[in-house]
Structure 1
Amino acid sequence: MIDTLLFDLDGTLLPLDMEEFTLKYFKELCIKFSSIFEPKKLQEAVWSSTKYMVNNLEKEKTNKDCFFEDFQKRVNHDLEKLFPIFDEFYNKDFVNIKDIVNKNPIVKEAVEILKSKGYDLVIATNPLFPKEAIYHRIDWAGLKTTDFKLITTYENMHFCKPNIEYYEEILSLINKKPDNAIMVGNDVQEDIVSSVLGIKTFLVEDCLIDRKSPAYKSDYRGSMDDFYSFVKKLPNL
């Protein structure tokens, strides 16, 4: 029985252009670290360490552990001195990115309907960022962190999308089986891959990302308006 919905965040609950978001993110990050790193050097290190984090499947290491393990190898600086700057960036400076996103009011309405019907909700965003950055984006979408049973962040997860282990870990953390859940996302390769486990999927096409390979077929697809209509038809639990 379906009783849980897993939601991607960027491009799904929060409409945005990922390329524009990435450019703005690195602009703000480079400004924050301008007295320590050359912009190109910082971007290369962050990209490389993010790639390492995504590909790492060591279950005893959190994504945060993986990122900074690799990052330390690429920079000639004491991490203990960098951590407070990263923390301040994600707490304060990260909000400067907000001006490139536009929340969709129907998202909040859909979430409220699902809550009223008794469904468990999860933010299943790719856990590449600390919780502060993810909590900011939940707020930008017009939602509350308390709406969700679990929010995946780089502190609490050990795998990233598109690894199937990411979805297995979510199910384990919330004590659910694949046939209890629907994954709602806009990225075919990162979100619809969850169907391999037997999770039902809804592909939101408003900010569609499809690299064509590997190819996955969603159970449902349409705009966020279509998803809203889908939510209204779901039974009460």
Structure 2
Amino acid sequence: MTALKAVVFDMDDTLLSINLNAFIGMFALDEANLLAQAARKSTVALFTSVGSAMLELNNGERAEGDIRTNQRFFADEVERRCGVPLLEPAILDMLEFYEREILPKKNDRLIAARPREGAHEAIEAVLNRGMRIALLTNPSFSRACIECRMGWGDMLDMPFELVTTWENSTRCKPCSGYYLEALGKLGLAPEETLMVGNDPKRDFPSPAIGLKTAYVGNGNQPRALWCGSMADFAKGFDEIEEQFCTGD
């Protein structure tokens, strides 16, 4: 019997209800506009470069020895495509100001970001069992951008031991390397950790590493330890922990 020591959570549509496609579209267009103004280039060209670099970051096809952070990888891809040096201090400062000061005010009726039903209760249930928690959101955004969405979900005060961002990660979901890297920072083995997520692809490591997933997305997933809503997860966490430990 393996004891459950920690529960690690996805964020978007797991702890946070959000129209993620609307958010990404707004965010990418805003940043492309800023970069176009700074570099005196076409917004369309910058939007295309940023979008292509983001797809490249998330497709997982990186050499095994590539240890660049996701931030560095993304910046290199953007510069290769359009010549804009994202890591120049002036550009970094401009983007961080936008993400810290402007982006938090962009939560409109289309994006509709708010705490997901049962999310806070789920965190409380895990902490009440004396377990550790971490936020394993896909690290294809900066810390500032992720903290913006954490704020929308009233998560900034939650005692996450780790929040994965593109500054501290070298791979994205569902790459098993991403999960092993994050769990390594926490000093945890996959076998003593439960992942909670809504994405039928990204929240299951590929290839499998022995990390069990509680699935809170739509439908059922045969690979999941447990399937249901986040509210049901919160209510039934004791039973889920027992299922984790017994393997039933």
> What TM-score range do you get, normalising by the shorter chain?
0.7 to 0.9
Unaligned 5+ runs, structure 2: 243-248
Q: Is the 8 A contact 2:28 2:51 kept in 1?
A: no
Which residue does the alignment assign to 2:232? 226
Tell me whether 1:48 sits opposite 2:84 in the alignment. no
Q: Is the 8 A contact 1:105 1:142 kept in 2?
A: no
Amino acid at match of 2:200: V
Of residues 189-198 and 143-152 in structure 1, the stretch that sits farther from structure 2 once superposed is 189-198
Superposition pairs for residues 170-181 of structure 1, below 5 Å? 170-181=182-193
Rate the CA distance shift 1:127–1:58 in 2: closer, same or farther, 3 A: farther
Deviations 1:51-84 (A, max 9, x none): 3333335452111111111111122344424222
Amino acid at match of 1:60: I
Query: What displacement does 1:170 show?
Result: 1.2
Amino acid at match of 1:97: K
For residues 207 and 219 of structure 2, the distance between their equivalents in structure 1, rounded to whole angstroms, comes to 17
Query: What displacement does 1:154 show?
Result: 0.4
Amino acid at match of 1:41: A
Matching residue within 72, 83, 90 for 1:76: 83
Tell me whether 1:88 sits opposite 2:92 in the alignment. no
Q: Is the 8 A contact 1:186 1:209 kept in 2?
A: no
Rate the CA distance shift 1:183–1:33 in 2: closer, same or farther, 3 A: same
Deviations 1:157-212 (A, max 9, x none): 1111121111111111111111111111111110023681111111112xx499xx
Amino acid at match of 2:21: E
For residues 97 and 222 of structure 1, the distance between their equivalents in structure 2, rounded to whole angstroms, comes to 30
Of residues 225-234 and 80-89 in structure 1, the stretch that sits farther from structure 2 once superposed is 225-234
Secondary structure (helix, strand or coil) at the match of 2:12 reads: coil
Rate the CA distance shift 1:222–1:98 in 2: closer, same or farther, 3 A: same
Which residue does the alignment assign to 1:25? 27
Query: What displacement does 1:226 show?
Result: 1.4
Q: Is the 8 A contact 1:62 1:158 kept in 2?
A: yes
Rate the CA distance shift 1:209–1:165 in 2: closer, same or farther, 3 A: farther
Which residue does the alignment assign to 1:106? 118
Query: What displacement does 1:14 show?
Result: 0.5
Rate the CA distance shift 1:133–1:159 in 2: closer, same or farther, 3 A: same
Larger helix proportion, structure 1 or 2? 1
RMSD of the TM alignment (CA)?
2.5
Which residue does the alignment assign to 2:141? 129
Matching residue within 149, 154, 166 for 2:178: 166
For residues 159 and 207 of structure 2, the distance between their equivalents in structure 1, rounded to whole angstroms, comes to 24
Q: Is the 8 A contact 2:16 2:115 kept in 1?
A: yes
Secondary structure (helix, strand or coil) at the match of 1:29 reads: helix
Amino acid at match of 1:85: M
TM-score, normalised by the number of residues in structure 1: 0.86
Amino acid at match of 2:69: T
Query: What displacement does 1:148 show?
Result: 0.3
For residues 96 and 39 of structure 1, the distance between their equivalents in structure 2, rounded to whole angstroms, comes to 22
Q: Is the 8 A contact 2:14 2:198 kept in 1?
A: yes
Query: What displacement does 1:145 show?
Result: 5.0
Which residue does the alignment assign to 1:4? 6
Tell me whether 1:97 sits opposite 2:106 in the alignment. yes
For residues 175 and 102 of structure 2, the distance between their equivalents in structure 1, rounded to whole angstroms, comes to 30
Secondary structure (helix, strand or coil) at the match of 2:233 reads: helix
Tell me whether 1:14 sits opposite 2:16 in the alignment. yes
Amino acid at match of 1:127: P
Q: Is the 8 A contact 1:30 1:37 kept in 2?
A: no
